[in-house]
Structure 1
Amino acid sequence: MAQIELIYATPEAQELIQLEVPDGSTIEACIEASGVQQQHPEIDLQQMKVGVFSQIKPLSHVVQDGDRVEIYRPLIADPKAVRRKRAAAAEKK
């Protein structure tokens, strides 16, 4: 058995679920076993990216003991565009 953590964050809160899954489990199987999709029906694994310790991985990736599985929401703003806008505003001051 492997001990893993599953993380999903919304703008309002972070969800941290600790799981024990069979060795050889995939990211997709871990997400299903966690029940996080019942609590957060907006999670669409066909559209959202997932990863382990900030590294994007496919749903078929086999997790290891101690892994932190993360579900990534789409960005609401392009970080580069936000920085450019902030820099332009600072120049005008």
Structure 2
Amino acid sequence: MDIKVVYALRDQQWLTSLSVPELTTLEDAIQLSHILDHVPQHEKAQLVFGINGKVRPHHTKLNQGDRVEIYRPRLVNPKEQRRQRA
């Protein structure tokens, strides 16, 4: 199966295309991508993972064409941010 693994900061992005065997999990894909090598150790515990824009558990099996995403924690609640701008 062909998948993509992505992680983005404000000023830098990582996108890796991988060919993985069937029954590969979300966690397997993240490890195979080596993208977390670019994340400081103290931030790794705060990361959340998803597939195609939806947060998913680590054991979720991937499908052909899935986009595995690594999400950073939100620093500000989006509703609060909109309220402050208004």
Q: What TM-score comes out, normalization by structure 2 length?
A: 0.90
1:35 aligned residue: 34
The question of whether the paired residues in 1 share the 8 Å contact of 2:46 and 2:72 is answered with no
The list of structure 1 runs, each at least 4 consecutive aligned residues, that deviate by more than 2 angstroms after superposition, is 39-43
Where does the alignment leave 5 or more consecutive residues of structure 1 unmatched? 88-93
CA apart distance, 1:39: 2.5
| Paired residue secondary structure (2:40) | coil
1:4 aligned residue: 3
Q: How many residues align?
A: 85
Q: What TM-score comes out, normalization by structure 1 length?
A: 0.84
Instruction: Determine the C-alpha separation between the residues in 2 that align with 1:41 and 1:59.
Output: 20
| Paired residue secondary structure (1:22) | coil
2:21 aligned residue: 22
Pair member with larger Rg: 1
The question of whether the paired residues in 1 share the 8 Å contact of 2:52 and 2:67 is answered with yes
Instruction: Determine the C-alpha separation between the residues in 1 that align with 2:33 and 2:9.
Output: 17
Listed as ranges, the matches of 1:70-89 within 5 Å are: 70-87=69-86
Identity between Structure 1 and Structure 2 (%): 36
